[in-house]
Amino acid sequence: MARKVLTLAEVRDGSLRNVSFEAIAAAKTIAEGGEVVSVLVGDQVQAHANELIYRGADRVVVIEHPNLKFYTSDGYSQALKAVIDKEQPEGIVFGHTALGKDLSPKLAIKLDAGLVSDVIAVEEAGGNIVFTRPIYSGKAFEKKIVTDGIIFATVRPNNIAPLERDESRTGSVEALAVEIKDLRAIVKEVVRKTAEGVDLTEAKVIVAGGRGVKSAEGFKPLKELAEVLGGAVGASRGACDAGYCDYSLQIGQTGKVVTPDLYIACGISGAIQHLAGMSNSKVIVAINKDPEANIFKVADYGIVGDLFEVVPLLTEEFKKLKVHS
């Protein structure tokens, strides 16, 4: 059954987040041959429209308004509701990001719809669109279908493979004028804590440090390892609480949920709240001096030892590898 499916594209620091492309890929599966329309919302975002076409959108609708400069649930829901009313889609896909998490339930109510959140896989099976999502802090999974109304889902970043970028794809880009008004919550200020350009949720390699790193200085060898691997540095709550690094690096239930190809946990014990944010990583390496540490239970490879000895050696080995290849 062909369906028209809308996706929401997200712009951060002047670029499209990868999850925008992953949402398009998920939408293609849901559309079963129907049209995929990406919606681009913001202040000045039109320039990104073509990229969405190259990534598989059949058409792009752009809604620009000064009141959309900062995300607010009131502003964005007015914009989205206007496109939805016009396009009458049978499916909607957002990223399961801070924005998507905040906005999707509000729209679901406006549409009197169900919503499947934090999806890591979508497939067509037995005549249904079947979503897989983690439950119980990542210790189990469920498969869900929508039984009534519009098929609405949010997808966890870095889990659904985007389509191959193809500049020969074409599609129309339309502007939609929407009056955005009566915002009941106003963003007065954004305090940036995250380094520009590094989006942990999109990183292919993450080197994460915990309380075992012992100081802000102790993160240096981890940064060097991340650099050689072209990856990003993350942290446990323990390291953040101890003041070794900023909360913006925190991975876990309260922090970022990540799914890199390679996750190297250094001096992290492996509390359930931390695992909830990284246990879906493709390959997990644990470096911990306590052989009983819980992190070894989810690790594919473990080294029992002092991270201050192991991490610099690892960096050296990877450097050698780089020179040889």
Ligand X SMILES: Cc1cc2nc3c(=O)[nH]c(=O)nc-3n(C[C@H](O)[C@H](O)[C@H](O)COP(=O)(O)OP(=O)(O)OC[C@H]3O[C@@H](n4cnc5c(N)ncnc54)[C@H](O)[C@@H]3O)c2cc1C
Cα gap 7→20, rounded to integer Å:
8
CB 42 within 8 A of CB 69: yes
Q: Are strands 205-209 and 36-42 parallel, antiparallel or unpaired?
A: unpaired
Q: What is the DSSP string of 213-249?
A: G-SSGGGHHHHHHHHHTT-EEEE-HHHHHTTSS-GGG
Which of 102, 208, 211, 265 contacts another protein by CB under 8 A?
102
**Strand bridging mode 151-155 / 116-119:** parallel
Separation CA 265–CA 273 (nearest Å):
14
Residue 143 is encoded by which pair of tokens?
Answer: 């498969």
Q: Is 214 exposed, middle or buried (0-12, 13-18, 19+ CB in 10 A)?
A: middle
Residue 236: contacted member of another protein, ligand X, none (CB under 5 to 8 Å, by partner type): ligand X
In this complex, which beta carbon is closest to ligand X, that of residue 5 or of residue 293? 293
Stretch that binds ligand X, among 61-69, 91-99, 177-185, 273-281 (CB under 6 A): 273-281
> Of 34, 91, 267, 302, which one interacts with ligand X (CB under 6 A)?
267
70 forms part of the interface with ligand X (CB under 6 A)? no
Q: Note whether 279 binds ligand X by CB under 6 A.
A: no
Assess 78 for contact with another protein (CB under 8 A). Answer: no
Q: Does 273 bind ligand X (CB under 6 A)?
A: yes
Q: Nearer Cβ to another protein, position 54 or 247?
A: 247
Cα(129)–Cα(31) distance, rounded to whole angstroms? 10
- The whole-angstrom separation of Cα 140 and Cα 148 is 25
Residue 133 has a CB neighbour count (10 Å cut-off) of 19
Within positions 168 to 227, which residues make up the interface with ligand X, using CB under 6 A?
Answer: 210-212
**Contact call for residue 163 and ligand X (CB under 6 A):** no
Reported as type and span, the H/E element at residue 95 is strand 91-95
Calculate the dihedral angle through the C-alpha atoms of 124, 125, 129, 132, rounding to the nearest 10 degrees: -100
Q: Which partner, another protein, ligand X, none, binds residue 46 by CB below 5 to 8 Å per kind?
A: none
User: CB of residue 35 vs another protein: minimum separation in angstroms?
Assistant: 23
Smallest distance from another protein to CB 138, Å: 8
Q: Is 253 in the site for ligand X (CB under 6 A)?
A: yes
**What sign does the dihedral 13-15-18-21 (CA atoms) show?**
positive
Q: Does 306 bind ligand X (CB under 6 A)?
A: yes
Closer of 33 and 192 to another protein (Cβ): 192
From another protein, ligand X, none, which one binds at residue 238 (CB under 5 to 8 Å depending on kind)? ligand X
Annotated binding residues for FAD, written as ranges, equal: 211, 236-237, 250-254, 267-274, 288
Residue ranges that bind ligand X, judged by CB under 6 A: 210-212, 236-239, 250-255, 267-269, 271, 273-274, 277, 287-290, 293, 306-308
